[in-house]
Amino acid sequence: MRLGIIVYLIAGALGALVGIDYGQQNSKAVLLAPGSPFEIILTDEGKRKDVSGVFARIQGDELERVYGNAMGSLCTRFPQQCITKVKSLVGASAGSMAAGEAATSGFFKLVEDKNRLGGIKFDMGLGNESYNFALEEVLAMQLNQFKKRALRDLEHNSEAQAVADDVALSVPPFASQSARRAYLDALQLADFSNILGLVDEGTAVALNYVSNRKLEKRDLNDKKEYHLVYDMGAGSTKATLFSFTPFSNGTLLVDVESAGYDSGFGGDLLTQSIYSIIIEKLLAKFGVSHADEVPVKTKARILEAAEKAKTILSVNSDYHVSLENIYNDQDFKATITREEFEEINSDLMERITKPIYNAISNSDSVKDIGDIKSVILAGGSTRVPFVQSHIISLVGTEKISKNVNADESCAFGTTLRGLKLKTYIERSKGIKLIDRSINNFEINYDGKEFLVFPKGSVTNNITRIDLGKVPKTAVIDLYENGKLFKTIEVEDLKKASSLDCPSKTNKKLVATFSLDNNKIFDLKNLEVACDTSSTEGSDASQETAKAEEGKTNETNSSESSKPKARKPKAVSLSMKDSYPELAPLSKDTKTKFSKKLNYLEKRDRQRDELEKIKNVLEGKYYNIRGYIEDNEDAIIRELSEKELDEIKEYISNGIEWLEFDSDKSSYDHFVEKVKEVDEKKKYLENLFEMNSVDLSFQGIEKLQKDGGTIAMRIQDYLLKFGGEINELRKKFEAEGFNFEKENERTNQQVLRGGNDRLLSLEKNLAEYKDKLAKVTALVSNPKSFDKMVKRDVYEVYKEVTDKIVELLADLALIEGVQKSRLVALNEKFDQLMERKVKKQQREKAKKSKEAEKSSLKEKAAKTASAESSSETKTTSENEETHSEKEKDGSNETETSSSKSTETSVDHDEL
Ligand SMILES: *[C@@H]1O[C@H](CO)[C@@H](O)[C@H](O)[C@H]1NC(C)=O
Ligand SMILES: *[C@@H]1O[C@H](CO)[C@@H](O)[C@H](O)[C@H]1NC(C)=O
Ligand SMILES: *[C@@H]1O[C@H](CO)[C@@H](O)[C@H](O)[C@H]1NC(C)=O
Ligand SMILES: *[C@@H]1O[C@H](CO)[C@@H](O)[C@H](O)[C@H]1NC(C)=O
Ligand SMILES: *[C@@H]1O[C@H](CO)[C@@H](O)[C@H](O)[C@H]1NC(C)=O
Ligand SMILES: *[C@@H]1O[C@H](CO)[C@@H](O)[C@H](O)[C@H]1NC(C)=O
């Protein structure tokens, strides 16, 4: 429904925007660009979603990376080199649970990053530490794929391609401060230069839901309704409660109320349960006492089978596992039934619905499920039948909304949000989002706690807090839901003494905190200010700066945020950050990572190019070989057996070299080879053509005659062109218009490169005549002609005929240009004429008015002397008119009229 508005918006304001839904198991992305309104970005295999992951291996002596679906079976064959399902690790520190869990259930190996507090790296087992990647790097590699694919899709849209740098990414609502920072860092490393923002997944789905709703006028009834997004992915389950109000003025208000979640429960856990069923059966069959004794590769294959089983059991009642050579070269077969699956998961049932209850209990407005109008299912795991049946039995079938595509809704909503963040346009109609924090953000300072942004705070807010008297040392701790995540030490409190305050006023410490659109809570600024409210002392009063809505004019709002009357003099203090568990990437580290990723990217590109040119060269070898086979009879007439054999050998050697000895060769070397083969082919083609043309004396005589005719014809054309222009010149001059100026201008607009062509034609014509002279020399001496080698005659023949082709191409182009030039000049002439006529009419009107006036004057002043003076006046006016007319024909009018032509050309181009 809103697509129209959006398409309109992007046509003017946007380059290209990519919205990414990065999932634990699968990722999807949507491209929004002029000509591509909300399109899923397909993978190289043409799929709408991609496996989230990257596989790394050493090829030759270089790192090669394989992404997503293309990883295929590599992950089961080399499990440690495969990094998948790492979303649950984003923002996790080395010491945390998630890292520990992933280390045991994933097949990759995590190691501590010695250079970063709490940092973890993936040890890819490639025997080179520089190939151990941090999580942000691994994320960046994957996110960058979407940018590359977007650029691929925009290949024919260079304008949008040049700015495909806008990105929005969805994140789980429970993403911690460090997770959000990690996502932002990864986007930056992924080479997106304009990060529009992070969007909570539930919010994204809510936006997509609202944009999909078909609303009639009568539906715009100002009534608030509540909906719930239930999103179960591979790694986590989330319930987001939001209200939707379709206002009669056209505003569709989405207000995110609350959320409930289970960050450890998702489709993966169900897969894990099937995995444990299969492995139990396998251990029993082979009499193995413990799963630890099963090799990692075997485990990886079983996990793959479990994944398949989960999908199959969603529709069928049983699944037959069959794994060849799975253990000690023996096969393994087993059947898993849906009952088994549901039974082993019975203790997980509660976890399916718990997020819904949590979302409701976290909400101030919704008391129970009855208040919710519909439940929107998103995430691949909501397709698992018993998950669905649980939700249905809780809320009722009729409440399950069918308005969104469970797989793609989040990616579309993320893109929609990105668009909002990008354009900042507040429209009377359309979706308006109020996004809120689901966490409390507190600080601890000097033993006191301040709740800066309580749960439910609208995001994108800045607030100032008066921290009281200036202490000797100051430390501010930042908390998210009671969990310390950052400590800020104030470094230069001594600077406070440099501040001059009026006598009898104290100095105070004032902190400015922000909660931005990405839901990152931070201390923006800390300053010492004069306490003009004097008596309040250390009583921490909160004064709120005006909320900085994203769309307000930055400079304007920062000024208006400080009340002018009390604008305190203040000095800003510098601060030092430290972190209890996990430090974010430092600037230096990011630069280092960025360089590394760019280098790998560059090598990838070079390898691609090398591969391409190799293929080109191979193709050319086979092509020339085929050409010889097809035309051998003709070629052999002009070529000695020996020479032909040499060429054949050259080709065989080339093919062999390409296959066996070219590995170390440079790109340039291949380019040279390609050129070499091209030259050989051209040579053979010429030999072949020699046979098809008449190189006898009569033939060359004919060439001389025809060639002369062509030269004359071209000269005739040039004369004709000149004549046409001359006529126009006369036409212009007859009306007193400046032809040269108009002609030059038209040439610039219409001719574009045409002038060069004209020069090239003249040059070519001269060269052509030289070549033709050679032909004339040939035919003027029949005796020496008879003695000439055929190949030399052909040489002359070819030179002449090649030139003719060039001349004709020039001519065709110039003819076209000449036509548009004449049209443009004639149009200009008409415009000038029109103006001239109008001007004359105006003059005429003016003159008759003057005449009226002067006749009145005549009546008033009856003396003869007055009469004569009035006559002189009229003449001088006539002169003025005349000089104005001349100006008209020269530059002033032209400037304005040529401007108008220019604009009309622009419009046509659009
Ligand atoms: C590790 O990889 C880097 C980057 O490609 C390379 O420069 C370095 O020589 C490698 N070290 C070893 C020991 O192979
Ligand atoms: C539409 O009406 C609602 C409720 O009165 C209001 O909050 C909103 O700002 C209005 N939108 C516009 C663009 O005026
Ligand atoms: C910004 O945050 C402060 C502190 O939580 C709050 O008092 C204020 O109402 C918020 N402003 C807006 C516009 O939400
Ligand atoms: C902000 O407003 C000032 C004056 O009000 C104007 O000069 C400036 O261009 C505006 N900036 C933006 C980004 O709109
Ligand atoms: C910007 O400031 C001017 C005066 O300085 C004021 O009139 C205008 O309303 C302000 N605009 C916004 C968006 O705050
Ligand atoms: C008009 O033309 C005259 C001479 O052709 C030139 O000197 C003058 O700069 C021109 N004025 C403008 C505005 O182009």
Q: Where does a domain end: 656, 690, 724?
A: 690
Q: Where does a domain end: 515, 548, 578?
A: 578
Do 599 and 742 fall within a single domain?
Answer: no
Say if residues 200 and 21 touch (Cβ distance below 8 Å).
Answer: no
Domain membership of residue 910 (yes or no) is: no
Do 733 and 600 fall within a single domain?
Answer: no
Do 88 and 42 fall within a single domain?
Answer: yes
> C-alpha angle with apex 249: 243 to 255, nearest 5 degrees?
15
Structure tokens given for 248: 């009669």
3-state helix, strand, coil in the chain (%, to 5): 55, 20, 25
Q: What DSSP assignment string belongs to 440-452? A: -EEEEETTEEEEE
Ligand 1 atom 11 nearest Cα: 128
> Which ligand is located closest to the Cα atom of residue 886?
6
Ligand 4 atom 11 nearest Cα: 553
Ligand 6 atom 9 nearest Cα: 891
Burial class (CB in 10 A: 0-12, 13-18, 19+), 521: buried
Domain membership of residue 880 (yes or no) is: no
Say if residues 17 and 31 touch (Cβ distance below 8 Å).
Answer: yes
Q: How many CB atoms neighbour CB 672 within 10 A?
A: 13
Q: What's the CATH code of the domain at 512? A: 2.60.34.10
**Phi then psi dihedrals of residue 69, to 5 deg:** -55, -35
DSSP strand pairing (166-171 vs 17-22): parallel
Domain membership of residue 425 (yes or no) is: no
**Phi then psi dihedrals of residue 394, to 5 deg:** -80, -45
The full length of the chain comes to 910
Instruction: Please give the pLDDT value at position 561.
Output: 45
Q: How many CB atoms neighbour CB 278 within 10 A?
A: 20
Residues of the chain below pLDDT 70: 1-14, 97, 99-106, 157-164, 424-429, 533-568, 750-758, 861-910
Do 394 and 281 fall within a single domain?
Answer: yes
Do 683 and 714 fall within a single domain?
Answer: no
Domain membership of residue 547 (yes or no) is: no
Say if pTM beats, i.e. exceeds, 0.85: no
Instruction: Please give the pLDDT value at position 898.
Output: 38
Do 703 and 743 fall within a single domain?
Answer: yes
d(CA 886, CA 96): 86
Q: What's the CATH code of the domain at 673? A: 1.20.1270
Q: Mapping DSSP to helix (H, G, I), strand (E, B) and coil, where does residue 245 land?
A: strand
Domain membership of residue 62 (yes or no) is: yes
Q: What's the CATH code of the domain at 232? A: 3.30.420.40
Structural domain including 335 reads 218-402
Do 267 and 380 fall within a single domain?
Answer: yes
Q: In a mutational test of the pocket of ligand 6, which residue from 890, 891, 896, 898 has the highest number of ligand atoms less than 8 Å from its CB? A: 891
Q: In a mutational test of the pocket of ligand 4, which residue from 551, 556, 557 has the highest number of ligand atoms less than 8 Å from its CB? A: 556
Domain membership of residue 720 (yes or no) is: yes
Domain membership of residue 464 (yes or no) is: yes
d(CA 6, CA 430): 10
What's the pLDDT tens digit per position in 465-494?
Answer: 999 988 888 999 999 999 999 999 998 888
> C-alpha angle with apex 509: 537 to 549, nearest 5 degrees?
115
Rounded to the nearest angstrom, the distance between the alpha carbon of 180 and the centre of ligand 1 is 32
Tell me the pLDDT of the chain averaged across its residues: 84
Q: Where does a domain end: 637, 671, 690?
A: 690
Do 98 and 146 fall within a single domain?
Answer: yes
Do 643 and 671 fall within a single domain?
Answer: yes
> Which ligand is located closest to the Cα atom of residue 460?
3
Instruction: Please give the pLDDT value at position 756.
Output: 65
Q: Where are the alpha helices (DSSP H) in 164-289?
A: 177-189, 201-212, 267-286
What's the pLDDT tens digit per position in 520-554?
Answer: 999 999 999 888 765 444 333 334 333 333 344 44
Do 189 and 53 fall within a single domain?
Answer: yes
Do 607 and 507 fall within a single domain?
Answer: no
Domain membership of residue 889 (yes or no) is: no
Give the list of residues 6+ apart from residue 792 with CB closer than 8 angstroms, or none. none
Q: How many CB atoms neighbour CB 747 within 10 A?
A: 17
Q: Give the count of domains, the chain.
A: 5
Do 716 and 849 fall within a single domain?
Answer: yes
